[in-house]
Amino acid sequence: MSRKLLTATLLVICVAILYTKESFHSEIARALNWFPQSVPSTAQIEVGFSPEAGAEELVIKAIASAKKSILVGAYSFTSKPIVQGLIDAKKRGVEVRAVLDKSNTSNKSGTAAANLLANADIPTRIDSEHPIHHNKIIVIDDAHIETGSFNYSAAAAHKNAENAVVIWNNPELAKMYADNWAIHWEHSAAYRSTY
């Protein structure tokens, strides 16, 4: 790390500690994520598009590949097949956790999907820290990442112009995504089913 970058990082950390109410760990993680990062690319990459051009199927394929863990970060979260895929993964013994945008507590379809996760004993949290939690990511087995514009919704699958990308077998990149996901998990509130 260059001296200039190190100085800027330390300054950001000090300011964050002095002027916020969040935990020390959260502020350090946030400060370090302000800078673009790069990782080597040796992974296989798959892509799907929508409407009706493989995006939702690719997301479901990625979920079905999980053997030990799934971390979900979602904005619009209403896709029944994706919700079912996560529940099926939980039934297989995969540890599944989700951070959802607060909009999922104010619309019928989002609330229904969040309830299904919570009722399946999948720890689910609502991120109200930001104007919107606009992430669309899934980290699988600390090695694979699904991302792209594709919201986990029926509209994204059948109406919108969207893309989904899965980067297979890149643990270094998966760790970066998981670390960022953990920041949002930490400041999000636990979701409890409404029925």
Per-residue pLDDT of the chain (195 residues; tens, 9 = 90+): 566 666 666 666 655 655 555 455 555 555 555 566 666 676 688 899 988 778 999 999 999 999 999 999 988 878 899 999 999 999 999 999 999 877 767 788 877 888 889 999 999 999 888 887 788 999 999 999 999 999 898 888 888 898 999 999 999 999 999 999 999 999 888 888 888
* Residue 136 falls in the annotated catalytic set: yes
* Residue 61 falls in the annotated catalytic set: no
Catalytic residue among 68, 134, 158, 159: 134
* Residue 127 falls in the annotated catalytic set: no
Cα dihedral 99/41/166/182 (nearest 10): -10
The phi and psi torsions of 43 (rounded to 5 degrees) equal: -90, 160
Catalytic residue among 90, 127, 133, 136: 136
Is there a cis peptide before residue 51, judged by omega within 30 degrees of 0?
Answer: yes
Helical (H) or strand (E) element with 95: strand 95-101
Catalytic residue among 88, 141, 175, 187: 141
